[in-house]
């Protein structure tokens, strides 16, 4: 008996677990998010650091990969996503996360870019699911040319992996300016987005500089990595692309200024010097760029100053909640039976009470109109108030229902016909006297004599009353007798 109870309990537990698993699977399947890939992408291009489209770049130029998108109203749910891939000839410096916002600062999606795969995924917010109009916008990420696959002074074809391509000219190498005294650059480490490499080139012109001193000032959101500084005498190749190290300055010539910078006493120089060092981002690598400043002084030269920044990295995006207003005209005029319907009507669009546009509507458009691509918010993020009005139409009354208009023809008032003129003959005085006397006599006669049938009616009334009375007495008599 106990064995049966145990088996029964075990069966109940297993059944309960299966139910819970089933419910969990059902719930999971209902909340599964969709990735629409590049379905909503409407365009792409490469731009410079100012956002201007370009097809000519230097191999070290800052480049932005830019995409436009259009999300139809009601097409996505919260948690759904769209995704694109950075073209193969370009690379991301680091992983990037940024928000795409509308004019009011509302987040419509969050973009995550993976620098290893080159994939950018934008996950939509609840705002997109509840939108009442299409959402148009764009997003960009900073990229750089893959120098393992792209050479200078050549033309390359950028494949956007959606059937579109862009032909780009990569400019020839120019090399350093032969009169250059101080130059500097930096870049983000490919494997660590918080580690920043910096290089300063001193005296490429090979001038004789007495008691030269180089000072470096670290920019914001980064600290000097102590012990990372190296100072080398170098010899450049004739094209200025490569150099060989001839020897290093002793560490005693380098004075670190905490985490904010350092100074190198170079002494008298006539050759080219390269200074290498590292900084560590203090913001987790979130900044789009990091800045730095270098200064070179000497007894026989003017002070040289160079301010630089790392190549731009990161991304940005924006979206516009555009509106469309549309409506139609309905005519109530018996299919224009009176021929008074106009060839067109005019609908005026008002924003915050001010007229901003109008449309002439005709039968060719089936008396339908629309205003599209309307801004939903002003510059401060406040909602615009839109309204439409119809220019009055002659011979019709107008009724507005939302953005639709109903025009009813005004009915024609029927005219009352005039009575024809009749000639009236006025009787003579004697006639009037005779007529009056006659009427008076008839009136007196009618008062004295009863009308025909009056006596008969009175007889039947009296007979009916007698019958009712006798019938009632008879009923009383019968009841009393039955009791006896």
| Three-state SS letters, the chain | CHHHHHHHHHHHHHHHHHHHHHHHHHHHHHHCCCECCCCCEEEEEEECCCCCECCEECCCCCEEEEEEEEECCCCCCCCCEEEEECCCCEECCCCEEEEEECCCCCEEEEEEECCCCCEEEEEECHHHHCCCCCEEEEEEEEEEECCCCCCCCEEEEEECCCCCEEEEEECCCCCCCCCCCEEEEEEECCCCCCEEEEEEEECCCCCCEEEEEEEEEECCCEEECCCCCEEEEEEECCCCCCEEEEEECCHHHEEECCCCEEEEEEEEECCEEEEEEEEEECCCCCCCCCEEEEEEEECCEEEEEEEEECCCCCEEEEEEECEEEEEEEEEECCCCCCCCCCCEEEEEEEECCEEEEEEEEEHHHCCEEEEEEECCECCCCCECCEEEEECCCCCEEEEEECCEEEEEECCCCCCCCCCCCCCCCCCCHHHHHHHHHHHHHHHHHHHHCCCCCHHHHHHHHHHHHHHHHHHHHHHHHHHHHHHC
**What is the predicted pLDDT for the residue at 432?**
44
CATH 2.60.40.740 fits 182-310, yes or no: yes
Residue 408 CA to residue 317 CA, distance in Å, equals 50
Which is nearest to 279 in space by CA: 292, 288, 266, 264? 292
pLDDT, tens digit, 9 for 90 and up, residues 257-289: 999 999 999 999 999 999 999 999 999 988 888
Residues of each domain in the chain carrying CATH 2.60.40.1140: 326-409
Residues of each domain in the chain carrying CATH 2.60.40.1280: 41-170
Which residues face 124 on adjacent strands?
109
**What is the predicted pLDDT for the residue at 263?**
98
Which is nearest to 274 in space by CA: 230, 310, 309? 230
- Average pLDDT (364-384) is 87
- 433: exposed, middle or buried (Cβ count in 10 Å: 0-12, 13-18, 19+): exposed
Judged against a pLDDT cut of 80, whether residue 375 lies above it is answered with yes
**What is the predicted pLDDT for the residue at 435?**
41
pLDDT, tens digit, 9 for 90 and up, residues 319-347: 887 788 999 999 999 999 999 999 999 99
| Residue 459's pLDDT band (cuts 50, 70, 90) | low
**What is the predicted pLDDT for the residue at 7?**
56
* Structural class in CATH, domain 326-409: mainly beta
**What is the predicted pLDDT for the residue at 437?**
40
Judged against a pLDDT cut of 80, whether residue 62 lies above it is answered with yes
Residues with Cβ within 8 Å of 359's Cβ and at least 6 positions away in sequence, in order, are: 346, 347, 349, 369, 370, 371
Residues of each domain in the chain carrying CATH 2.60.40.740: 182-310
* Token pair 């996360």: residue: 97
Cα 202 to chain centroid, rounded: 50
* Token pair 């940005």: residue: 316
The first and second tokens of residue 80, run together, are 């759904």
| Architecture field, domain 41-170 | Sandwich (2.60)
The torsion region of residue 80 among left (phi > 0), alpha (psi -120 to 50) and beta comes to beta
Which has the minimum average pLDDT: 21-25, 62-66, 86-90, 170-174? 21-25
Residue 375 CA to residue 347 CA, distance in Å, equals 19
pTM score over 0.75: no
Question: Regarding beta strands 90-91 and 301-309, do their DSSP bridges make them parallel or antiparallel, or are they unpaired?
Answer: unpaired
- 68: exposed, middle or buried (Cβ count in 10 Å: 0-12, 13-18, 19+): middle
pLDDT, tens digit, 9 for 90 and up, residues 145-175: 999 999 999 999 999 998 899 999 999 878 8
Judged against a pLDDT cut of 80, whether residue 202 lies above it is answered with yes
| Residue 389's pLDDT band (cuts 50, 70, 90) | very high
**What is the predicted pLDDT for the residue at 444?**
41
């Amino acid at each position: 008996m106990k064995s049966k109870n145990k088996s029964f309990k075990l069966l109940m537990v297993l059944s309960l677990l299966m139910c819970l698993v089933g419910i969990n699977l059902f719930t999971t399947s209902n909340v599964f998010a969709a990735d629409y890939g590049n379905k909503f992408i409407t365009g792409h291009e490469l731009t410079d650091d100012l956002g201007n489209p370009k097809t000519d770049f230097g191999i070290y130029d800052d480049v932005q990969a830019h995409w436009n998108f259009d999300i139809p109203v009601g097409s996505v749910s919260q948690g759904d996503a769209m995704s694109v891939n950075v073209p193969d000839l370009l690379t991301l410096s680091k992983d990037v996360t940024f928000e795409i916002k509308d004019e009011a600062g509302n987040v419509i999606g969050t973009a995550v870019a993976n620098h290893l795969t080159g994939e950018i995924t934008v996950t939509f917010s609840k705002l997109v699911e509840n939108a009442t109009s299409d959402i148009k916008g764009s997003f960009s990420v900073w990229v750089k040319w893959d120098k393992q696959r792209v050479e200078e002074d050549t033309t390359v074809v950028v494949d956007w992996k959606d059937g579109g391509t862009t032909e780009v000219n990569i400019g020839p190498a120019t090399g350093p300016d032969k009169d250059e005294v101080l130059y500097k650059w930096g870049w983000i480490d490919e494997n660590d987005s918080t580690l920043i490499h910096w290089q300063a080139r001193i005296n490429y012109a090979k001038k004789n500089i007495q008691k030269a001193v180089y000072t470096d000032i670290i920019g914001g959101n980064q600290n000097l990595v102590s012990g990372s500084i190296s100072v080398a005498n170098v010899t450049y190749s004739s094209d200025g692309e490569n150099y060989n190290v001839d020897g290093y300055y002793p560490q005693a010539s380098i004075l670190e200024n905490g985490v904010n910078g350092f100074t190198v006493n170079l002494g008298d120089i006539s050759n080219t010097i390269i200074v290498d060092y590292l900084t560590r981002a203090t913001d987790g690598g979130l900044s789009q760029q990091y800045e730095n400043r270098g200064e070179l002084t000497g007894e026989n030269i003017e002070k040289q100053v160079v301010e630089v920044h790392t190549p731009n990295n990161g991304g940005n995006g924006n979206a516009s909640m555009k509106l469309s207003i549309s409506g139609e005209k309905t005519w109530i005029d018996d299919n224009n039976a009176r021929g008074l319907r106009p060839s067109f009507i005019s609908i005026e669009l008002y924003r915050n009470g001010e007229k901003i546009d109008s449309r002439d509507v005709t039968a060719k458009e089936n008396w339908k109109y629309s205003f599209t691509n309307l801004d939903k918010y002003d510059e401060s993020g406040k909602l615009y108030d839109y309204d439409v009005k119809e220019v009055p139409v002659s011979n019709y009354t107008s009724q507005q229902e939302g953005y639709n208009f109903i025009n009813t023809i005004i009915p024609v008032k029927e005219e009352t016909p005039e009575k024809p003129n009749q000639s009236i003959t006025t009787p003579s005085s004697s006639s009037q006297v005779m007529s009056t006397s006659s009427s008076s006599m008839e009136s007196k006669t009618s008062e004295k004599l009863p009308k025909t049938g009056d006596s008969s009616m009175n007889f039947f009334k009296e007979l009916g009353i007698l019958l009712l009375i006798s019938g009632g007495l008879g009923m009383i008599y019968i009841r009393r007798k039955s009791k006896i």
